[in-house]
Amino acid sequence: EMQLVESGGGLVQPGGSLKLSCAASDFSVSNNYMNWARQAPGKGLEWVSLIYSGGSTYYADSVKGRFTISRDNSKNTLYLQMDNLRPGDTAVYYCARGIPFYGMDVWGQGTTVTVSS
Amino acid sequence: DIEMTQSPSSLSASVGDRVTITCRASQTINSHLNWYRQKAGEAPDLLIYAASSLQNGVPSRFSGSGSGTDFTLTISGLQVEDFATYYCQQSSSVPFSFGQGTQVEIK
């Protein structure tokens, strides 16, 4: 069964850094386009970033220059390095597999990031 | 960037009702429109992709239609597990924006 498991969330002070991981099972992260999305408390879904199979990366304007998406093919794991975190980055972060033009069909359970002093 | 607008923001319905949610894109996205259901405390689930294609394993009471800028999700015969929040999302161009969500509540 295809599965994604996120980890790495936690409490961090404003200006701090955190690196999220997303381990995939039964499919290869390198052969798919992989996304990060987030959901602030009580709010809707927000797309954050993606990495295509060819390695191209894209970011929402709200995180551009602060977040970096990457993957380790040998570990079949997706990452999101988050630097210079702000209180507005507080959210549940989800990783999801994307099918070109066809949406995100496999989602992780989410990991919670709280940015607060 | 493409902005997605859903309506209504919330609705109340009863088990067995037919429910329709609409989604409008700020510019044409052809048929690159997807629908998700998110139950409370859970990750989203893909219901419909490419505007009208039913994702594997999703019950046939869910259907989607539309193209260009205007899209519809219909639930024919609401079940208890369908009381949730629904999101549309465009996959035509980055950033892959979501609508603000439609909460379906029990009447």
Q: What is the mean pLDDT of chain B?
A: 97
Q: Rounded mean pLDDT of B44-60?
A: 97
At A116, the amino acid letter reads S
Quick: pLDDT tens for A24-77: 999 999 999 999 999 999 999 999 999 999 999 999 999 999 999 999 999 999
pLDDT digits (tens, 9 = 90+) for B67-91: 999 999 999 999 999 999 999 999 9
B89 and A46 in contact by Cβ < 8 A?
no
Using pLDDT thresholds of 50, 70 and 90, give the confidence band for residue A3: very high
Q: Which of A49, A58, A63, A104 should one mutate to test binding to chain B, selecting the residue with the greatest count of B CBs within 10 A?
A: A104
What's the pLDDT score for residue A91?
98
pLDDT at B91: 95
Which residues does chain A have within 8 Å of residue B98's beta carbon, measured at their own beta carbons? 37, 44-47
CA–CA distance, A26 with A11 (Å, rounded to integer): 31
User: Could you say which residues from 53 to 72 on chain B have a Cβ atom under 8 Å away from some Cβ of chain A?
Assistant: 53, 55
Q: What share of chain A is helix, strand, coil (3-state, %, to 5)?
A: 5, 55, 40
| Closest by CA position to A99, among listed B48, B17, B99, B91 | B91
Instruction: Give the N- to C-terminal CA distance of chain A in Å, as an integer.
Output: 40
Q: A88 by DSSP, 3-state: which?
A: helix
Tell whether B32 lies on the interface with A, counting CB pairs under 8 A: yes
Q: How confident is the model at residue A100 (pLDDT cuts 50, 70, 90)?
A: confident
| Tokens standing for residue A55 | 């390695």
Confidence of residue A101 (pLDDT cuts 50, 70, 90): confident
